[in-house]
Amino acid sequence: MSMDSDETQLSVEGNELALSTPQSLESEDFESQSHPEMAQATVKLAEMTEKRLSSKKRAESSFVKALKEFHAEQNKIIKASESMVPKVCNSCSSVVQAKKDVYSLESNDSCFSCHAETQSHKTEELLTSMKAESFGLIATMDLSDYEDWLFGDEMGQRTLARILAKLKSHGYEYKPWQVSIGAAAWSKENYHDTDLVDTRHIVERVKIADLLDYIPINTDGIQQVIESVKRAETFMAPQYSEPKNVLVPLLGLAGLAIAIPLWLNRG
């Protein structure tokens, strides 16, 4: 009984072995054949993918190029349209047509007239500043320099001659140097930021009463007379008694009173 079962089991195992052996052989054959085919398929897939990517890149490059050309063309159209639209000055809002106005608008954001007006205003401000500085220097001049500035040329000599004639018409006789110093002193004291022409115009029309206070008198001769009288007093004083010495200063003063007008008339 046991022998029969063993034989039966062996026969079953033998059958199974006989059945399994062909299948394993077929699997090994399939695997040996599939490796080259799979490698070939992988290569083909990679090639196809690369072709798709290259094609996509070419399409994108073509699109970018076409887009740039489109934008460039649109910009040309816009610029052409803008050139046809009248330009307007940003300052005066007038239509700009002349070439100089168009160029000025592009360079200075305003038409030529507005730009020139602005520059003229700046120049005027600069000149005003320079004039103010010049007036300040004139006001601080020394009197001798101011006198030379006022009367130092031909027109200044004419101004001085007019003042002399004006004084003479009112009965005053002065030498030119006296009037020149007096008029310059009055003008300098009353100077208020005027140029040379206006300053001369003003000094020619000064009131005589105002000018007389500034005209100097020749004090050199007077000083000499005073010194002569003092020397005479010193020389004559010991020849008289004490009561009589009182007359000596009186005589000196009387002589001085007579000598001063005579000396002025001579000067």
Q: What is the pLDDT of residues 45-83, one digit of tens each?
A: 888 888 888 888 888 888 888 888 888 888 888 777 766
> Total structural domains in the chain?
4
Q: Is 116 inside any structural domain?
A: yes
Closest to 131 in 3D by CA, of 198, 202, 193, 201: 193
Is the pLDDT assigned to residue 179 strictly greater than 90?
yes
Query: What is the mean predicted confidence (pLDDT) over 203-210?
Result: 95
CB-based contact 250:212 (threshold 8 Å): no
Q: Is 131 inside any structural domain?
A: yes
Higher pLDDT, 176 or 24: 176
Query: What is the mean predicted confidence (pLDDT) over 23-35?
Result: 57
Q: Is 136 inside any structural domain?
A: yes
Q: Both 198 and 230 in a single domain?
A: no
Q: Both 187 and 198 in a single domain?
A: yes
Which range of residues forms the domain containing residue 79? 25-83
Q: Both 90 and 122 in a single domain?
A: yes
Q: Is 7 inside any structural domain?
A: no
The distance in angstroms from the start CA to the end CA of the chain is 187
Is the pLDDT assigned to residue 111 strictly greater than 80?
yes
| Dist. CA 129–CA 265, nearest whole Å | 49
CB-based contact 196:151 (threshold 8 Å): no
Q: Give the model's pLDDT for residue 265.
A: 47
Output Rg (C-alpha) for the chain, integer angstroms: 61
Token pair listed for 15: 């059958």
* pLDDT band at 198; cut points 50, 70, 90: very high
Asked whether the whole model's pTM tops 0.75, one would answer no
Query: What is the mean predicted confidence (pLDDT) over 17-30?
Result: 53
Query: Among the three residues 169, 184, 212, which one is the final residue of a domain in this structure?
Result: 212
